[in-house]
Amino acid sequence: MTIFDKIINGDIPSYKVYENQDVLAFLDISQVTPGHTLVVPKKHVDDIFGYDTDTAQKVLLQLPIIARAIKASNSDITGINIQSNNGPSAGQSVLYSHWHLIPRFDNDGLTGTLAPTIDNSAEFSPERYQKIADAIKAQFGKE
């Protein structure tokens, strides 16, 4: 059982930004940049190699929708990196498939592989996480 199984089961808390029957999106604790979100299938999949077609469709279809909501939540966001690490050799540290959506800001100074190499969690209070999650959540249904 991974930390993301526990988040999906509700055994440990997370700052949720989107949820449907099949997919959950919540803030990455590390906040590589403000709004850094993880998208996961609710059905346990270890990594990209373990997806059945139905689960892949359900998860991948949500990526543009969630990306648009993140971008709309903060007018300073000008781009988003989408990254998924698969297998320990590729830097996967939580063995539950997840898609990093990392907002980018003009001149944010970041380059290269972003997650999980940067941990900004010390700069985020519960109130700050919640405010970001709420701003993203408020964008769904506006389209």
- The residues annotated with a catalytic role in the active site are 98
- Residues making contact with ligand 5GP (CB under 6 A): 3, 14, 26-30, 85, 91-94, 115-116
Q: Which is nearer to ligand 5GP, 29 or 48 (CB)?
A: 29
Distance CA 26, CA 72 (A): 16
Query: What is the closest distance, in whole angstroms, from the C-beta atom of residue 78 to ligand 5GP in the complex?
Result: 22
Query: What is the closest distance, in whole angstroms, from the C-beta atom of residue 9 to ligand 5GP in the complex?
Result: 13
Q: Which is nearer to ligand 5GP, 79 or 91 (CB)?
A: 91
Token duo for residue 130:
């919640």
Distance CA 136, CA 143 (A): 13
Query: What is the closest distance, in whole angstroms, from the C-beta atom of residue 67 to ligand 5GP in the complex?
Result: 17
Token duo for residue 90:
């590729």
DSSP-derived 3-state class of residue 38: strand
DSSP 8-state symbol, 42: S
